[in-house]
Structure 1
Amino acid sequence: MSRGSKGPSLPQVPKEGGPWQLTAYRFLGQDIEMELDGKYVINLDAEIFYQQSWTEGTQITDVQLQQTINAHVVKWCKQRVINFLSYRQRTEEEIRRYLQGLPIDADCIDEVIGWLKQQGLVDDREFVVRWVQHRLATNPMGRRRLFLELRQKGVDKNLIEETLDEVSHLLDESAMALQLANKQLRKYKDADSLTVRRKLTAFLQRRGFEYSAIKHAVAEVLQESNCD
């Protein structure tokens, strides 16, 4: 269930095969420190340990120990990813990338992501909607720029297109481009019309607006400012 050396050390089944005898155990914070055959020490989550009904003298097989360790690792991963999600909503791919940085295998990653979906804690469609709402409120941009940002976060391109279509009523590119062009125009009050046109066009292109919206916005502000 665990792999590699990145991150904290997680419990593993001893290389020497079982069964092992549980010779002692004691509390260690929220964990239980188990001693097997008087020489192997393994730390397990206390709740998971007590679910096994193990006592001193219990014989533990390879399969039993591996299943219990797997449960411990999955619980540990869930706790880590919940903390990761506490800062802001994440896409499934962002969560997967985070989990890939932990010393766990692909099966554990899939199990944790499946659990997150069941709990409603990861939903890429909802993420797209909230991302669009946040961006338009704080840093208006066109559909093309929104699409690129969401792709960088690992959202499926078809899902992005479908969801952007669903919220198209929020994406009035002509109005947004005109508003931004008017605001940006103040920076170029001493420039000639050709320079203003070039700079405004480049600015709106970087914001991801369609050509038609850019053309209309630039022409409008130049006309209103008598620069054209």
Structure 2
Amino acid sequence: MAKLTKITTQKKNKGRYNIFLDYGQGEAYGFSVSEDILIQYHLQKNMELDESTIQAMIQTDTIHKSYTLAINYLSYRMRSEKEIRDYLDEKEVDEEHIDEIVSRLYKEKLLDDQEFANSLVRTRVLTSSKGPLLVKKELIEKGVQASQADAALEHYPFDDQYSKAMKFAEKKLKSDKKKSARQQIQNVQQTLMQKGFSGDVVKEVLSDLPEEESEDEQWEAVVYQGEKLLRKFAHKAEGYELKQKIKTGLYRKGFSFDLIERFLDEYVEE
């Protein structure tokens, strides 16, 4: 048995207390506890404490400190269960303590993967450029079940998806003015798929894009791309061979045969 001889408040942490014990050989520091543990065990001077009670207090306090870490981690934003577990694991919390802390957080309604997923989707709709497929991927990576992720994506309605996708498409078209109309559409489609938009949304956006550029705009594009190919191949080929290389290059870039032939007639010598 040990006698509790003194309780002092820690200088740097007023919510924790140092417990001093005497095992019959004089007073010495024993351990520290939080205020909650102090109250829970009714600790006071001259109490007799057996070793099992001391170890129980130390373990309870250890769990409490880890729980406080979790609460602090949650104070910045909602977290998934996986995020909490990973965080506590990084802090070297015992696995059995992690299970106990997670269970307590659920009971106190501080953890809820479905509500976490709902909140994250709503946030991404307002603040990010991600399509729903990328948002779902993010949720899965954070440990949310696929069924919960699908349910949360109900907060990402089709109209919002379409609006974001159309903005991307319009921006992409502006940056691709010097490319063929076919290549512009292909690039828009590829970009939207990479951003995580579904096939239905991509199809809708593509069908609503402006009609093909004017003939003058496409001519400017073929001249721009054709001159690049001309500079590339001029020192490697000439005459018919040069024309064939340029023709093949422009065709692969999606230009029509009429525009290609016009460019070759006007810019490439026999």
**Into which bin does the TM-score normalised by the smaller protein fall?**
0.7 to 0.9
Structure 2 distance, partners of 1:138, 1:55, is 53
Q: In the TM superposition, what is the alpha-carbon distance from 1:23 to its structure 2 partner?
A: 3.5
Structure 1, gaps ≥5 residues long? 1-18
Which structure shows the higher helix fraction? Answer: 2
Is the counterpart of residue 33 in structure 1 residue 18 in structure 2? yes
Letter in structure 2 aligned against 1:25: I
Distance 1:224-1:62 versus aligned 2 partners, 3 A rule: farther
Q: 1:116-169: CA deviations, max 9, x gaps?
A: 2222222211122222222122224333212101111111122212333x446x
Query: Which residue is 2:205 aligned to?
Result: 217
What is the aligned-residue identity percentage? Answer: 25
Structure 1 distance, partners of 2:111, 2:213, is 48
TM-score by length of 2: 0.67
Query: Which residue is 1:84 aligned to?
Result: 73
Contact 1:174 1:217 (8 Å CA) reproduced: yes
Q: How does 1:34-183 map to 2 (within 5 A)?
A: 34-36=19-21, 37=23, 38-164=27-153, 166-167=154-155, 170-172=157-159, 173-183=161-171
Q: In the TM superposition, what is the alpha-carbon distance from 1:45 to its structure 2 partner?
A: 1.3
Contact 2:181 2:212 (8 Å CA) reproduced: no
Structure 1 distance, partners of 2:200, 2:183, is 20
Letter in structure 1 aligned against 2:184: V
My pick for the range that moved more, 190-199 or 143-152, is 190-199
Structure 1 distance, partners of 2:147, 2:83, is 18
Query: Which residue is 1:13 aligned to?
Result: none
Query: Which residue is 1:204 aligned to?
Result: 192
Structure 1 distance, partners of 2:42, 2:130, is 58
Q: Which has the higher contact order (CA 8 A, sep 6+)?
A: 1
Q: Which residue, out of 182, 187, 192, partners 2:175?
A: 187
Structure 2 distance, partners of 1:157, 1:206, is 20
Q: In the TM superposition, what is the alpha-carbon distance from 1:42 to its structure 2 partner?
A: 0.9
Larger Rg: 2
Is the counterpart of residue 23 in structure 1 residue 8 in structure 2? no
Contact 1:143 1:209 (8 Å CA) reproduced: yes
Report the aligned-residue RMSD. Answer: 2.5
Distance 1:46-1:129 versus aligned 2 partners, 3 A rule: closer
Contact 2:122 2:155 (8 Å CA) reproduced: no
Structure 2 distance, partners of 1:136, 1:108, is 36
Letter in structure 1 aligned against 2:101: V
Contact 1:143 1:171 (8 Å CA) reproduced: no
Count of matched residue pairs: 208
Q: In the TM superposition, what is the alpha-carbon distance from 1:92 to its structure 2 partner?
A: 1.4
Q: In the TM superposition, what is the alpha-carbon distance from 1:221 to its structure 2 partner?
A: 2.1
